[in-house]
Structure 1
Amino acid sequence: MSDRATPLGAETTVHERADDLDPTDCARELLAAVRTGDSPDPYLERLAQYDETALEPLRSDPALALAFWSNCYNAGTQLLLSRRPELYENQLRFFRFFGATALTVAGADLSLDAIEHGIVRGTRTKYGLGYLPQVLAGRFERRYSLSDPDPRVHFALNCGATSCPAIRVYDADRIDEQLDQATRAYLDATVDYDPDAGVVTVPKLFLWYRGDFGGGSGIRNLLREYGAIPGDASPRLRHRDWDWSLAPGKFAE
């Protein structure tokens, strides 16, 4: 994050602008500020101040919800990496980093796990290969949980690791197109198909969240749809090791 001083008048203007934003626009502007190194605080404060009435459209419009929560997750990741890097570097990363409060929305302190697994993935545990529900999800997560999760969101969420997909700022009116773009770019960069061996090597997230993609057949269908394997191919799946080395600021060009 930038440490440069901001003139008082300019800071006031940013706060006033944040106050006029609806939640989806506020999340988008938050991630844009994180990318450019501007102060995220006005947008963080506004997200925390919304009441649940303001968030009501997220419960009925999947496009709004996907854009909002993807931008919140990616901004939250970058803010945690910037402000509390020791959590990621800790051996207990999976509890301390992913379980720490990343940002506050409508008064609810949310971790990355709460956003990803409690809301975006439809209240599914991060264990169990994508087949098991998350039985201990809180009221807030259950209220905003997506009823029909889009597996392409796995190619939109960035947790700070080198193997993660690039970060994009998502717009509700273009979310389907943007998720297609993110999916194609990630698969192009990470999938290797060996027709002679009848094997396709895919990122580890296809194992961790196998159920989200509809099992092996669903994964192969996705790979065919995005041209990662030929339309008539049905290769065995091999999973590439995940590189957890820290890679902050991995924004798409």
Structure 2
Amino acid sequence: MTGSSPAVRSSTPGVDSTPTALAQDLLVACRRGDPTERYRTALAEATDADLHRVREDRRTGLAFWLNCYNAGTQLLLEERSDLYESPLRFVRFFHASAVTVAGTSLPLDRIENGLLRGGRSKYGLGYLPKINVTNFERRYRLDDCDPRIHFALNCGAESCPAIRAYEPDRVDEQLDLATRSYLDATVAYDSGANTVLVPRVFLWFRGDFGGGSGIRELLRAYDAIPDDATPKIRYDSWDWTKAAGKFAE
């Protein structure tokens, strides 16, 4: 596994690795059904110094928080699946503790919106700043929101993208692959009607993509629509059926 952060000085037997490697190993353990406690404990015991590269390097931060989010989702689905199946899913599941990093308990909502999206609200279609930002979020959030994260984050729903273990040295290449794969599977362009049907995540986080023009620009960049097309955007429904273990091959 790739690791570019200082070594975590863990008291957990058999674990002495970087935070980035720990997050990757945790996700791999989730995929294989292996025990996860040693990785979770080591991440919880990491210090601010251990997380220097996560804090200071964009690629390391991206890979680390993507892996933490996706591992956290799988852990919640396995250990607290009732929260996902609750009518109050958006409060109970997304605000439940998913993973602990450096002594801070982090729900999925905070990892996505407070850290990966740089402190943007999940309300307001991606145009509004997040309210009630914690000191941890201020210290570790990414400066800018990379819209490709929306094709990498898996919250357990059938409509979510497949999960990959992201590596700092390859995260941009991996995000391009994840984006292209997801768009190929979900976008439907109708040249005759001059419309394009896209996943609903484009609507929920419209501001992250730069509005309608930004959405079309991204679709052109990944060959989902022709370079000269300016179709009307339609948003598909989202299938919230629980789908644990949706890993890329």
TM-score range, shorter chain: over 0.9
Partner of 2:42: 46
What amino acid sits opposite 2:227 in the alignment? G
Superposed, 1:186-225 pairs within 5 Å as 186-225=182-221
What amino acid sits opposite 1:201 in the alignment? L
Superposed, 1:46-65 pairs within 5 Å as 46-65=42-61
* Bigger mean CA deviation after superposition, 136-145 or 208-217: 136-145
Partner of 2:18: 22
1:226 CA drift (Å): 0.2
Of 179, 182, 187, the match for 2:178: 182
In 1, Cα distance between equivalents of 2:122 and 2:244:
22
In 1, Cα distance between equivalents of 2:233 and 2:14:
49
Partner of 2:7: none
2:231 pairs with 1:238 = no
2:72 pairs with 1:79 = no
Superposed, 1:105-144 pairs within 5 Å as 105-144=101-140
Q: Secondary structure at the match of 2:171?
A: helix
In 1, Cα distance between equivalents of 2:121 and 2:144:
15
5+ long unaligned stretches in structure 2: 1-11
Superposed, 1:156-167 pairs within 5 Å as 156-167=152-163
What amino acid sits opposite 1:241 in the alignment? S
Partner of 1:252: 248
User: How much is the aligned-residue C-alpha RMSD, in angstroms?
Assistant: 0.7
Of 75, 89, 100, the match for 1:93: 89
2:114 pairs with 1:153 = no
In 2, Cα distance between equivalents of 1:126 and 1:79:
22
What amino acid sits opposite 2:17 in the alignment? L
Query: What is the total number of aligned residue pairs between the two structures?
Result: 238
In 2, Cα distance between equivalents of 1:219 and 1:103:
32
What amino acid sits opposite 2:88 in the alignment? L
1:214 CA drift (Å): 0.6
In 2, Cα distance between equivalents of 1:17 and 1:220:
49
Structure 1, residues 150-194: CA drift from partner, whole Å, max 9, x if none? 110110000000000000011111001000000000000000000
Q: Secondary structure at the match of 1:129?
A: helix
In 1, Cα distance between equivalents of 2:88 and 2:35:
29
1:137 CA drift (Å): 1.5
Structure 1, residues 48-82: CA drift from partner, whole Å, max 9, x if none? 00111111211211100010000000000000000
In 2, Cα distance between equivalents of 1:245 and 1:175:
28
In 2, Cα distance between equivalents of 1:152 and 1:17:
35
In 1, Cα distance between equivalents of 2:101 and 2:84:
22
Q: Secondary structure at the match of 1:33?
A: helix
1:143 CA drift (Å): 1.0
In 1, Cα distance between equivalents of 2:58 and 2:38:
26
What amino acid sits opposite 1:171 in the alignment? E
